[in-house]
Structure formats: C-alpha cells, structure tokens
C-alpha cells in the first residue's frame, strides 16, 4: 500500500490540526510542502482540489480534503493499535464533533481574520472586521472556560484526547497571539497549558518553529515558542 501524501504548510493552523492527529494515531504520511505562490505548483494543486485549501491528503489516488475529514479517514483506514480520536459511542462522538466545530468556526475563523488583516495593504485594513473577530474570540473563550469549569474534564470533550483537542491546540495557539486569554478564565488557561504540553502538540510546534519568523502575528508568540533574536 502506497504511503498517503499530505499537502500542507508548516504555518497553517488546519495543517497543525491534522499533523497532531496523525501523530496521535500513529499514521505515517509523505509530507509535501505546498507553495501556492508558485503558479505551476498552484495549478497542480487545484487540479487535485479545485477549492485550493490545505491540508489535502491523497490516499491511493483519492484526494481527501478538510482537516476533520482527513482525520476521520486516517482513523478508519490507518490508525495503529486501536488509536482513536473519535469515540465509537455515538453520543460521545457527537460531543467530540461539536467541540471540533466550535474551535474551527469560533476560534480558528476569527483568528484568521487578524492574520488576513495584517496581510492587507495599510489602506485596506478592516478595523471593524478585526473588532468583530476580537469580540467573537472573547465570547468563545468565555464559553469554553465555562464548559471546562462545569465539566471538570482533562480534555474538552472527555478524559481522552480527541479530535476536538486536535482542533483546539492550533486554534488557541494562534488566537492568543492576537487576543490573550483574559485572566479570569483560569480553566481555559489550564487547558491551554495541557494542550501545549501534549507530546503530539509539542512535536508539531517544534516542526513549525523555523517558520514562525514569517507568521504575521509573531509579535504575540510567547518566548517559549519563538525567539526573534534567533532569526
């Protein structure tokens, strides 16, 4: 069986989500760094997935897009030793998928609005859009903190690291560079620290570390993740 190929970029939050999951599941892939600024490379990628969004997994000739779908496919087809990020129990699986959506839609999406704004020319900045993204992040931080306080769980959807935590780690990692966690949210802060200490998350961040100098929000990265003096 051919090794699946993952088209990715080491700075992408959604690629981090997949890389963390593949690490936990014990799935080996061939990683191909994607440069969408290269016309030929972009055209080849669009031929695989016309939407043009990464990550993209190609497995036995089949193109599999969307981070959550890639992870579920990897669990079904390639996970080692019974490793799983989505429970077999239907109700537990629904909760995992719910929190996966929360982090993708209400943390990653507003976080990306900050990055997109920094990439615009000065005269095209969207101050209102950034303010709305900040409000969304703050309201979602409060939602997650309240959930963690009420559930008293180690991870966001249970006591086992899941798909939802794979989404949470990169979403929060980048979001806090723009909107730090408010001090009252002690449960969310503790959860963030647990995420950053998870071995799969540590390895994913380490692999991305040389690229952080290109991240538009790098001024908000904690020194433990990025040392500007190191280049």
Record the tokens describing residue 44, joined without a space.
């080849």
Tell me, yes or no, whether 107 and 67 share the same domain.
Answer: no
CATH number at residue 11: 3.40.30.10
Tell me, yes or no, whether 51 and 100 share the same domain.
Answer: no
Tell me the pTM. Answer: 0.96
The reported pLDDT for the residue numbered 229 is 74
CATH number at residue 135: 1.20.1050.10
The reported pLDDT for the residue numbered 230 is 66
* Interatomic CA distance for residues 168 and 201, integer angstroms: 10
- CA R_g for the chain: 18
The reported pLDDT for the residue numbered 136 is 98
- The H or E element that residue 32 is part of is strand 30-33
The reported pLDDT for the residue numbered 91 is 97
* Interatomic CA distance for residues 20 and 175, integer angstroms: 17
Tell me, yes or no, whether 97 and 74 share the same domain.
Answer: no
Q: What mean pLDDT is predicted for residues 194-214?
A: 97
CA 186 from centre of chain: 22
Tell me, yes or no, whether 98 and 151 share the same domain.
Answer: yes
- The verdict on residue 219 lying in a domain is no
Sheet of 5-8, strand order: 30-33, 5-8, 56-59, 62-65
The reported pLDDT for the residue numbered 142 is 98
Tens of pLDDT, residue by residue over 58-110, are: 999 999 999 999 999 999 999 998 899 999 999 999 999 999 999 999 999 99
Biggest distance spanned by C-alpha atoms of the chain: 54
Domain that includes residue 33, residue range? 5-78
The reported pLDDT for the residue numbered 231 is 54
Domain count, the chain: 2
DSSP 155: B
Confidence of residue 34 (pLDDT cuts 50, 70, 90): very high
Tens of pLDDT, residue by residue over 170-179, are: 999 999 999 9
Tell me, yes or no, whether 50 and 96 share the same domain.
Answer: no
Residue pair 176/225 in contact by the 8 Å Cβ criterion: no
Tell me, yes or no, whether 67 and 100 share the same domain.
Answer: no
DSSP 126: -
The reported pLDDT for the residue numbered 190 is 98
Place of tokens 């929060």: 172
Domain boundary among 48, 78, 108: 78
Confidence of residue 228 (pLDDT cuts 50, 70, 90): confident
Tens of pLDDT, residue by residue over 98-156, are: 999 999 999 999 999 999 999 999 889 999 999 999 999 999 999 999 999 999 999 99
Tell me, yes or no, whether 136 and 68 share the same domain.
Answer: no
Q: What mean pLDDT is predicted for residues 176-194?
A: 98
- The verdict on residue 177 lying in a domain is yes
**CB neighbourhood size of 76 (10 A):** 10
- The verdict on residue 215 lying in a domain is no
Q: What mean pLDDT is predicted for residues 12-28?
A: 98
């Amino acid at each position: 069986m051919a090794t699946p190929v993952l088209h990715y970029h080491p700075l992408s939050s959604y690629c981090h989500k997949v890389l963390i999951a593949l690490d936990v599941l014990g799935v080996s892939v061939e990683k191909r760094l994607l440069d969408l600024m290269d016309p030929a490379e972009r055209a080849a990628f669009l031929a695989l997935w016309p939407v043009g969004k990464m990550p993209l997994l190609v497995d036995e000739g089949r193109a599999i897009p969307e981070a959550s779908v890639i992870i579920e496919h990897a669990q079904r087809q390639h996970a080692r030793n019974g490793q799983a990020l989505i429970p077999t129990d239907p109700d537990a699986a629904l909760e995992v998928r719910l929190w996966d959506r929360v982090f993708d839609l209400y943390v990653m999406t507003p976080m990306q609005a900050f990055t997109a704004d920094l990439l615009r020319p000065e005269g095209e900045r969207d101050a209102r859009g950034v303010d709305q993204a900040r409000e969304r992040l703050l309201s979602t931080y409060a939602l997650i903190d309240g959930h963690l306080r009420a559930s008293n769980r180690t991870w966001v959807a249970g006591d086992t690291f899941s798909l939802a935590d794979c989404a949470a780690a990169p979403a929060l990692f980048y979001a806090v560079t723009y909107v730090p966690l408010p001090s009252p949210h002690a449960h969310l802060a503790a959860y963030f620290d647990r995420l950053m200490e998870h071995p799969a998350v540590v390895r994913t961040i380490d692999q991305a570390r040389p690229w952080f100098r290109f991240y538009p929000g790098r001024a908000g990265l904690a020194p433990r993740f990025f040392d500007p003096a190191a280049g």
